[in-house]
């Protein structure tokens, strides 16, 4: 299987409930990943764009966090309500600006 045009790395890290740092899995990232995969299939784009689970991206406080490559942007506070818009953007080869927390380059 060749490299995809784009990747969405969805943090699925889960910490214990008592951990003050929190984690993306506690904020619904596992379901976000599942729905993203479904959204890519629905758009016929799953062979061009891959959504996959990742470990901690060190964006825990603003999870659920996703890294989009090769655009090298990070999304934060992603919820199920954002899945369709995010899938539309990445399938079109765009960045979903509304969700960006860390752009590729500092302004």
Asked if residue 24 lies in contact with residue 39, where contact means CB atoms within 8 angstroms, the answer is: no
Q: Which is nearer to ligand FES, 41 or 80 (CB)?
A: 80
Tokens representing 71 are 């655009």
From the list 32-40, 45-53, 58-66, 82-90, the region that binds ligand FES by CB under 6 A is 58-66
Q: Is residue 11 part of the contact set for ligand FES (CB under 6 A)?
A: yes
**Is the peptide bond prior to 82 cis by the omega test (within 30 degrees of 0)?**
no
Q: How far is CA 78 from the centre of its chain?
A: 7
Q: Which is nearer to ligand FES, 46 or 101 (CB)?
A: 101
Q: Is residue 10 part of the contact set for ligand FES (CB under 6 A)?
A: no
């Amino acid at each position: 299987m060749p490299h995809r045009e784009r990747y969405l790395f969805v943090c699925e890290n889960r910490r214990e409930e008592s951990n003050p740092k929190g984690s993306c899995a506690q904020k619904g990232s596992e379901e976000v990943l599942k729905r993203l995969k479904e959204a890519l299939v629905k758009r016929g784009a799953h062979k061009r764009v891959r959504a996959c689970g990742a470990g901690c991206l060190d964006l825990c406080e603003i999870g659920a966090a996703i890294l989009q490559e090769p655009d090298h942007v990070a999304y934060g506070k992603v919820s199920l309500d954002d899945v369709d818009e995010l899938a539309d953007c990445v399938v079109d080869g765009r960045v979903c600006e509304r969700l960006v927390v860390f752009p590729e380059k500092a302004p």
